[in-house]
Structure 1
Amino acid sequence: MTIRVLVADDQQLVRTGLRGLLERDPDIRVVAEAGDGREALRLTVELRPDVALVDIRMPELDGLELTRRITTDPDLTDVRVVVLTTFETDQYIFEAIRAGAKGFLTKTVSREELCRAVRVVAGGEALLSPSVTGRVIAELSRRPDPARSSPERLSALTVREREVLAMIASGRSNAEIGEALRMSPLTAKTHVSRIITKLRVRDRAQLVALAYETGLVQPGAGGVPPGGSAAR
């Protein structure tokens, strides 16, 4: 099945480059390009792409507002947003995740990472690649007065659920979590679903933001909270 992608960025060169990289994959087709957020929203409503690659800073509507409008429109529930960012705009990344973005990419990603991201998000999962997520979170942590959620937000979680959450934040899949904690992928998936329900978040992408905001894990950590164990 062909994955249909919309690319929204105010720089023509970036749009052309992304199109060229994506369309080298026979399963991905760029159905539209947009140079500003309002045009991107119009084309999204009209074409209903599977994935929208959205730059943070755009005229008319910025990437955050565009993401909110897409993810809150009941007619666009099948459109999944991936935010494109640079380190100059990374302070917005948690806002993007809260707005409903399924993941984010830096504009320096390789073609393989870009195409993998599109496939992962089109398949209904959040993009939590450590090679991308870790770099962005590390940069955020070095900035003064980062927004933080209270650690008490995690009080409803069991010790095991905290371990699972930390591994989600490190970018591990359900299969990898299961292997590390000696449980089946299905059991790992059940833990993830319970954590999402308990913390009242939308998806795995928001779990990543929450894990770092509450201090459960730190940039560069191996994905296991203090006092936890990698396997039992």
Structure 2
Amino acid sequence: MLSGQRVHHRWPGFGYSSDPMTTTAPRSPGTYHSRSRVTRKRVLLAAAGLVLVLVGYTIGRLQGGSSSPAVAAPPVVSPVPSSASSASEVPSPSPSPSPTVEEPKGGTDAYSTIQAENSTNQQGTESQDTEDDGGGKNIGWINRGDWLRFDQVNFSGTPATQFAARVASDVGDGVQGRIELRLDSLGGTPIGTITVGNMGGWQKWQTMTTGITPTTGLHTLYVTFASDSGTEFLNLNYFAFSH
């Protein structure tokens, strides 16, 4: 070994000198290139992630105006005016008009004064001059089983409910007879009855009334007479109906 010269010792596996004054040898260029590529990859991934976030944010703004999830709004129901009917509503039926009562025409007015002597037909009776107010004639000698018939008596469309007769009698005490009103048949059920007795004379006139079954329309009227005795019991001057 020469004097004044520094000897360098190299140890296996290391690239530098054991001499503290010796400078470390530089790393190979391949090491720096590898680290540079890793760094670039990380930067690119970070940029790609940022781009995805921005794209997602932009799409959310375009769809709902907010990055928050969109919540469906409840449907808006338009109010229906109270006067409008729904399609399923069944219209109320219109009220039926009241039936029109047809007024019968012609015949003898039941509400006028009907003279007994003007009957269309009769059985067992006779007429005579009357002493009643107004004069004229009355029907007399009336006994049980006798009757008077009056054709086409017009009761109109408004029901008759009352009957009044002008009568006189001088029958014996305790004897009574009946005036019965029948429609359209001598055998029909009476619609009204007046019971008469002694009135003090055959020309002592009184007006007697009774209620009857409500009657309308055009009818043949039978005025029939009945009593429990076989004696004449009644004179009849006139009669009329009323509501």
- Please, what TM-score do these two structures have when normalized by structure 2? 0.21
In terms of fraction of residues, the more helix-rich structure is: 1
Larger-Rg structure: 2
Greater relative contact order, per chain length (Cα 8 Å cut-off, separation 6+): 2
In terms of fraction of residues, the more strand-rich structure is: 2
